[in-house]
Every structure is written in C-alpha cells, then in structure tokens.
Structure 1
Amino acid sequence: MKNTIYLILLITGLAYQAQAQKVLEYKQYYHTGQAQVKAGQYDAAIVSLDKAIERMPYYSAMYAERGKAKLKVKDYTGAIKDFTIVLQKKSYDAQAYLQRGIAYYHLQDYNNAEFDLKDALHYRPENREAKQYLDKTLAKQEELRQLALQQQNEILATQNRTNQRDEWERRQRRFYRNQLIWGTIVPLAVWTGILLWR
C-alpha cells in the first residue's frame, strides 16, 4: 500500500515537472517570437511561435503575434486563421478584426474585409488604419460593381448586335425567297399554264 502511494506521488511529481517544463519552453519560444516580430524577423518569429503554440495552444496572444508575422510575410490565409482563433477567444479584440480585415483585403475578399474593418471601428472608432482600409475596401467594391455593370452592358450590347444581325438575315432570306417566288416561280407557272392551254 505504501509503495503504491509513493508510486502515485512519483508519477504526479514527474507529470507536474513535465508540465512545468512545457510552460517554461512555451514562454521562452513566445518571448523569442515576440522579439523577432519587433525586430522584423518574421519567418523566424513564425517558427518560434509555432513551437510556443505547440507546447501551449490555449493563449490567444501567441496566435495574434503569429498572425502579425504571417501578415508581414504575405501569408494572408494563415494570418486569417490565426486572427480567427484570437477572435474566437476574444470577440472584442479590435486589433484582430483590423488585421484580419487587412488580410481579407489583400486576398481581394472585400465583403469580409468590410465586415471586419467595421467591427474594428465599432470597438475603436478612432482607429485611422481601420478607416483607411475601410475606405479602400469600399472603393474597391464600387470599382468591382462598376466593372460588373460594364461587363453586363457589354454582354447586352453583344446580344443586341447578334439579335439585330439575326433579324437582318431573316429579312434578307425573306426578301430572296419573295424574289425567287415572284421573279422565277410565278412567271414560270404562268408561262407553263399558258403553254399547257395551247
């Protein structure tokens, strides 16, 4: 009985020590990743933050830092995933909305960019960067609407030209048919009738 208790305590102590080691490693990788982001070493920061998240995947701050680094290296899809995790944990994080909106903007997903940038401004109405990106997003959406309208008008104009050409061809065929009937068949029938009556 005594040996069982000692064994349980030993296993518990080892598990606690392993967990403490994980926490120390996660903090070391996280702080290294933060420093690398600040120093502009974004690829290295992503590697460090990957290791931190692998050891302790619960903290939104690590995903936010990695999202910033991914945004800088133009991994917009990866940045969106990281900022989405941040927003699942902290749905009021204006900075995460802003940065995810910027990532959507660069992926030309202007509808989602608009929603995120408006959410960022909801939580921080004075945020200039969010306002600038929202203005750019709305301008792009308007540009796309105008382009779609222009393309639709071009399609309609092409269809109208096709319809007009088809109508002209039908009129031409009718004209030639009438010419054939009145210029050839009717006179031939008349002359045939005259010859047969003789």
Structure 2
Amino acid sequence: MDRASYLKQLRGKLRRLPAHEFDTAIAYYEEYFEEAGEENEQQVISQLGSPSHVASQILADFALKDLDTSSAKSTKKNISAIWLIILAILSAPLSLPLLATAIALIFSFGAVIVSLIFAIIATVISIFVGGVVALISGLLILTEHWPTALLFMGVGLIVTGLGVLLFPIVARFIKKTVLVSVETLGRLFHKITKKGKGASK
C-alpha cells in the first residue's frame, strides 16, 4: 500500500465526520506523509497502523470530544455520538472474537439502557394516568357519596401533581443516562482496541 491508497481508504472511512473535522484529519495525515518524505512512506504506514485502525480512533475520539465540549448535550447529539462510536468499533481492525465481543457489548449495554428508560417512562405515565383516573372517578361519584368522591379527587390531584413533577426530573435523568452510556461505550471501545492492538503484536 502506498500513500495515495492509504489516504483514499482513510477518506472513505471518515466520510461520516463533519466537513471541518474531516478536512482537519485528512490534512494532518497528508502533512504527516509529506514531512516523512516519499522514501519513508512504508515506515509511516507501519507506524500509523491500517487506515481502519486510524479511522476508528478518530471517529471515537471525535464522538467523545464533541460531547465534552458541547454545552447543550441534546438527545440528538448523544445518538449521533453513539452512532459514531458504533461505526468506529465496526471499522476497527479487530479479530473476529474481539469484534463479536464488541458487538455483543453494544447490544447488551444498549438493551439494558433502553429497558431502563422505558421502565422509568412507563412508571411516570402510570402514576399520571392513575391520578387522572382517580380524579375522574371522584367526579363521577360526587353526587352519590361525596366523602368518598372528595377522597378520590384529593388522591387524584396529589398523584397527578406528582406525575407532572416527575416528568422534568425523568427527562433530565434520561439525558444524563444516555450521556454516561455514550462515554462508557467510548471507554469500552478504547479498551477493546488496545487489547486488539496488544494481541496483534
């Protein structure tokens, strides 16, 4: 492999990066090759590792850096970071067992997080709906037995209010959970790729 084919492969693997980050990364490696000189191309390629390895590190590092430097850690940005880390893992030159381990970790980790989020959302919605039902039940029996109706309406208002109060807390918790999950996924990726690199030596 020569410099041209190396950089061509690297461009192909980094095409998911934003334009500015893509240009910066490619410019850096072009300059790296230029400074080494044409006679040292193979030595540079050997030092850098395969285009897949370089691309996987760039993608993962960008995903984590983007999350750290962003003041508004939106759900969309978190999902984008997860996608970039998954691409990094899939493009990394891992052995088949390590790749299988990485994919299994992604899916099991993702399944646990998604299940947790859905369980929390379902609980909050259940509380809110339960409060509304109690409130409506109280209104329906108001003319038949007003003490029981008032009890139901009071409980309904308290539970509905609790449900409303929990919504913003749960939203913040879910955002924080997704952010921590992305960072954990990034750290797992670095451990797996380091292990893979050490095994190949």
TM-score range, shorter chain: 0.3 to 0.5
**TM-score normalized by the length of structure 1:** 0.35
**TM-score normalized by the length of structure 2:** 0.34
Rg: which structure is higher?
A: 1
